[in-house]
Amino acid sequence: MKTFTYIAHKQFIRDIKYDIDINVNNYESHTNGMYFKHIFNNHNVETNLHIDFVKCVFLFSSEPKFQDLNKNYIDNFFISDENRELYMDFFCKIQKTYWAFNKFAKHIKSRYSKVKVTDDLFLTPIIHSQKNQFRLHENNCCYLFTLQDLSRIIISAVCNSPMFCSEPIPPKNPYSGVPFSTSNLYNIYFAIKTQLAIMPNVIYHFFLCEFNLDSFAKKNQLIIRDTFIKQYVNNEDEEEIIESIYDMLNECYSNINIDDEFPNDVLIETFKPLLTSYLHYRYSFDTSKRLPNYRVMSRKMNHIIKKCPRIGRKLFVFKDNKKYISFVTLNGNTEPVLYVKPETKYTIVNDDTSEDERVTDDSNNQSFEFDPEFSNQLDELIHVTDVQSDNLYDTDEYFDSDDEIEVNEDLYDP
């Protein structure tokens, strides 16, 4: 028997002054009509037969309690105002008792449950007296969180969008990997609403969808995409940010040439403020945001080009017969670094065969033996066509391709 049903039976027995108490053993006998017999046999002027009958129907109804309340109290036109008040008083007493026991059970669980985690996600100890703490009970264990951490966990999960394609996933406990239950999500929502000054827009719309992930994904595509873009710029790793910056430059500003060896930290510091506007212009579902974000991106980029038109280029500096390189940045050139000539040596691959192993010739080459007469004729023919080696290179155009041309590298800028 469910707790709510048991409390409802106890309250009903008290209202109709039923002599026999209800318990687990005699519960089935009362479902066979014992309540109805008592109501009709002991009916007098002081009792209300109609409202007692409605209460009895409520006890044995298989529908959810609030759905049954809506049918018997709100949509029932055959019940008087006095009986409505009696019925609501009966229902509220059950609810009050049920939530009192529920609160007591929660208090007992929180007292005897084992606390597994006492630090937030930044490994900062959580003090029991701080107002933004939240105790998450799960599998007879307690996990301490801050409301800010829980907010970030929920938002990052429901706004998950790999490759800018919306794929929300259930929010999970980062320590156990178990998804948050619906009851825990409601508790987190009301704790955030009570303790924090601002309710995150994503969590509010998730609450309006009754924490149904499929319904939230269908109704809030714009919110998911805009939230993910903000998270992408702030939380994505360095390689992804650099790739997005180069995509922005290649698509919108191909005249800006950034050298391949340009420092990544300077590149991110310079162009990251433009990346949010570019991503909204490129991927946002809200068409009203695309043009304003493109104008913001263009205004910032024009300011950079006007201030430093040669940004991203490599410079060669010669000092003390040594070559140094530096790069043009928005705030001046970087510190010169000694130039290192790229290696051009070939890697020699060792033969797999050992020295003692004999290498066989699998080709179709064959040695030919000529007769003496033919051999003599071939020698005479070769001597006739010989060219004098003395006159072969007596021209001014002679050039040995194997010679190396030495050029002073200080005279040119590669």
User: What is the total count of domains within the chain?
Assistant: 3
Whole-number Å distance between alpha carbons of 298 and 110 = 56
How many angstroms separate the most distant Cα atoms in the chain?
A: 150
From residue 319, alpha-carbon distances to 181, 269, 314, 329 in Å are 68, 29, 16, 21
Which pLDDT value is given to residue 289?
Answer: 86
Write the Ramachandran bin of 72: left for phi over 0, alpha for psi from -120 to 50, otherwise beta.
alpha
End-to-end Cα spacing for the chain:
87
Q: Is residue 150 part of a domain?
A: yes
Residues 225, 240: one domain? no
CA angle (231, 233, 234) in 5-degree steps = 65
Cα distances (Å, whole numbers) of residue 155 to 116, 211, 221: 24, 12, 14
User: Under a CB-based contact definition with an 8 Å cutoff, are residues 233 and 242 in contact?
Assistant: no
Tell me what pLDDT residue 223 has.
Answer: 92
* Statement to judge: residues 216 and 167 lie in one domain: yes
Q: Determine the residue type at 214.
A: D
The answer to whether residue 410 sits within a structural domain is no
* Residue 243 counted as domain residue: yes
Is there a domain that residue 256 lies in? yes
213 part of a folded domain = yes
Q: Are 192 and 203 in contact (CB under 8 A)?
A: yes
Pairs from 71-80 (Cβ < 8 Å, separation ≥ 24)? 79/50, 79/51, 79/54
Same domain, 236 and 225: no
Do 62 and 159 belong to one domain? no
Using CA atoms, how far apart are residues 170 and 213, in angstroms rounded to an integer? 7
Q: Residue ranges of the alpha helices (H) in 20-80? A: 27-29, 35-41, 49-59, 65-69
Supply the pTM of this predicted model. Answer: 0.63
Residue 326 burial by Cβ neighbours in a 10 Å radius (0-12, 13-18, 19+):
middle
Rounded Cα distance between 170 and 167, Å, is 10
Tell me the C-alpha distance between 325 and 275, whole Å.
Answer: 28
Indicate if 81 and 148 belong to the same structural domain: no
Q: Are 334 and 266 in contact (CB under 8 A)?
A: yes
CA distance 412 to 392: 36
Neighbour-count burial of 154, counting CB atoms closer than 10 A to its CB (0-12 exposed, 13-18 middle, 19+ buried): buried
Q: Are residues 99 and 179 in the same domain?
A: no
What's the pLDDT score for residue 184?
93
Indicate whether 53 belongs to any domain.
Answer: yes
Predicted local distance difference test score (pLDDT) of residue 129: 83
Task: Tell me the residue range of the domain where 9 lies.
Answer: 3-111
- Can you give the C-alpha Rg of the chain in angstroms? 43
Assess whether 94 and 32 both reside in one domain.
Answer: yes
**Confidence (pLDDT) at 45:** 40
Give Cβ neighbours of residue 253 (< 8 Å, ≥ 6 apart): 301, 305
Q: Could you tell me if 54 and 106 lie in one domain?
A: yes
DSSP 119: B
Give the end of a domain, one of 277, 307, 337.
307
The Cα–Cα gap between 83 and 54 comes to: 9
Q: Are strands 114-117 and 141-146 parallel, antiparallel or unpaired?
A: parallel
* Domain finish residue from 240, 272, 307: 307
Average pLDDT by consecutive 10-residue portion of the chain (414 residues)?
76 68 59 56 55 70 76 69 78 88 85 86 88 88 92 94 89 93 93 91 94 93 91 87 91 86 90 90 87 91 89 85 86 82 58 52 52 70 55 44 41 43
Domain finish residue from 200, 229, 258: 229
Among 64, 85, 86, CA closest to 5: 64
At residue 47, what are phi and psi to the nearest 5 degrees?
-95, 155
Count other C-beta atoms under 10 Å from residue 331's C-beta.
Answer: 10
| Residue with the two structure tokens 């714009």 | 222
Choose among 335, 215, 227: nearest CA to 284: 227
Q: 172 - beta bridge partners? A: 179
Q: Report the candidate in 64, 70, 103 with the shortest Cα–Cα distance to residue 88.
A: 70
pLDDT of residue 257: 86
Same domain, 60 and 140: no
